[in-house]
Amino acid sequence: MAKYSSPSYWLLRFYVPRGETLWFYLALVSAISLLGQELARCSALASPDPTHFEGFGEEDALESDSEEFEDGPIEILIPPPTVTQSNFETHHGPPEPSSPEPKPKPSSSSFEYWDEDEFEGLPIDPSPRTENPTENSSSPPEITQQSPSPKTLPSRSFHVEIICVSFLISFIINYFTGKRENENIALAWASCFATKDTIFDKNFSLLGTGDGKDTPLLLKEGQNIFKFYASGRRYCQGLLATMELQSRHDLLSRIYNFVVPCKDEITFEVYMNDENMDHVLFAMARKKLAKVIHKEVRDLQRYAGLLSVPMNRKWVSEELAVMSESREVASDLITEAVLDQVFGEKAFEKFGKGFISFHFSDQHAGSHRKMLVFKFSLPNANNMADMTRLVALVPYYIDLVGRYKLSSQARSKTEAARAKAAQEIYKELQNVRQEAIQRKKAERRKLMEEAEAKLSAEALRKKEEKERARQLKKTMPKVKMTRAH
C-alpha cells in the first residue's frame, strides 16, 4: 500500500509516456517538420529573381524590345539616297551600267543597311535638299538600348502563417499544462481520501481496481476523467467514484470555460445489496436543480414529489429542496447529525459549498436497481480538505440506508404505488407491441398491393376467383357427416 500511495510513484506513473502519448509525440514532430518545410518553401518563393541583378537579363530585354517591333508590320519610308562624288581617283574606268537589281524584300529586321560606294560616279543633284518635316516624321525610329529596370515583386506578408504557428504552439503548451493540472487535482483527491488512514481506507477493505499491491488507485479513462473503485463493506457490493474535470488540455474548451464557467465534479455510485435496501426513494438538491431533476429522472417523476418544510422540527437549509416518496422516509433519513454537520442553515454556508445533489432509489433504470448516488463539486488541489464532511456522508448513508426499515403503513403505500407503476409499464409495453404489429401488417399490406399492381389482367382474374371461392366456402353451412352402423 505504501508503494503505490507515495507521490513519487504517482508522478512517475502519470508522466512516463505510454502508448497514446508516444503516438502524440510522433505526430507532433511530424507536424513541426512539415511546417518547417512549408516556411522554407514560402521564403524561397519570396526571394528576388536572380536575373534582376546587375549584368543579367540584358539580352532578354533586347529581345523583348525587338519583339515589340516584330508583332505588327512596320512600314519604313526610306528617302532616295543622295549620290556624292568620290574625293579620290581610282584606276577603274567609268562605272559599267549595272543591271537593275531586284527590289529587296522587306526584311524582318528593323534596320536596312545601304552601301554608299555602290553609287559612286553618278551625277549629283544640284538642287539642294531641304528637310521635309513629313520625311523626318516618317524616318525609321531610332532604337536606343535602355538598361532594364529591375522588377520589384510585391512584398508578401506572413500574418496567416504567424497566427497558425502561434496557435499551434499555444495549443501544445496548453495541452501539457492542462493535462498536468487535471492530474494534480486527481492525485490531490486520492492522497486526501484514498490513502492510508483516510476515509475510504477505514471504511473499505479493497481500494483500487485490482488485488495486487502495485494496483493503481485511480483509473485514467481520458485527459479529464478519472475513476476510483472501492469494495469490501457491509450492505453494499462496491463503490465507484468518477471525477469529471474541466477539459483544461483543450485550448478551445478552456476559452469556453472562461465565458461559461463550469466546475469539476465527482460522482459516487454505491451499489447496494438487494436484501439490505428497502423501498426507499429520496433525493435532495439545490432548488433550481431539483426542479430539473424531478422532471428528467424517471423514478422521481413517477413516485416522488417535492416536500414542503415541516413545522415541528429542524429542516435543511433554504437553498435545498427535498424530494421523497413519503414524508416518513425523508424525516428518517435527514437526521440531527446530518443537519449539524452539513445541511443545517449555518453548517451549509460553511461546509456545503461543494454540494450538488444526492439520489437514493430502489428503482434505478439500469443493471443495478438499488443505488445511492452522490454528486459533489471538487475544490482546487490545495483546498481538497474542504470537502471532507461531504465525502463522509457516503459511508454514513450506506449504513443508515442498509439498516433502515419502513413501517407497515409506509410499506403498504409504497407497494401499492409500485404495483400501479408496474401495471402502467405493462400497458405501455403492450401498446408498443400492438403498434409494432400494426406497423408490420401495414407494411405487408403495402407490399401485397405493390405486387398486385405488377400482375397482369389474367393473373388478377384468377386471384379474384380464388378469393371469391374462399369467401363462398366460409358462408356455406357446415355439415357434419356420421357413419351409419
How is the chain split into domains, by residue range? 162-411
Phi first, then psi, for residue 10 (nearest 5°) are -70, -40
Task: Indicate the pLDDT class of residue 69, thresholds 50, 70 and 90.
Answer: very low
Give the tens place of pLDDT for each residue, 35-47.
777 777 766 655 5
Q: What is the pLDDT of residue 217?
A: 87
- Higher per-residue pLDDT: 406 or 482: 406
Asked if residue 391 lies in contact with residue 199, where contact means CB atoms within 8 angstroms, the answer is yes
Helix (H, G, I), strand (E, B) or coil at 324: strand
Asked if residue 370 lies in contact with residue 242, where contact means CB atoms within 8 angstroms, the answer is no
E strand or H helix that includes residue 189: helix 159-193
Helix (H, G, I), strand (E, B) or coil at 233: coil
Look up cell 497514446; give the residue.
20
Q: What is the pLDDT of residue 134?
A: 45
What is the C-alpha separation between 185 and 220, in angstroms, rounded? 13
Amino acid making up residue 61:
A
Give the tens place of pLDDT for each residue, 446-471.
888 888 777 777 777 787 888 888 88
Task: Indicate the pLDDT class of residue 133, thresholds 50, 70 and 90.
Answer: very low
Q: What is the pLDDT of residue 22?
A: 65
Task: Indicate the pLDDT class of residue 125, thresholds 50, 70 and 90.
Answer: low
What is the C-alpha separation between 241 and 394, in angstroms, rounded? 11
Q: What is the pLDDT of residue 92?
A: 47
Task: Indicate the pLDDT class of residue 116, thresholds 50, 70 and 90.
Answer: low
Question: Residues 43-70: what's their mean pLDDT?
Answer: 50
Q: What is the pLDDT of residue 109?
A: 47
Q: What is the model's pTM?
A: 0.61
Task: Indicate the pLDDT class of residue 113, thresholds 50, 70 and 90.
Answer: low
Question: Residues 375-404: what's their mean pLDDT?
Answer: 93
Percent of the chain with pLDDT strictly greater than 90: 33
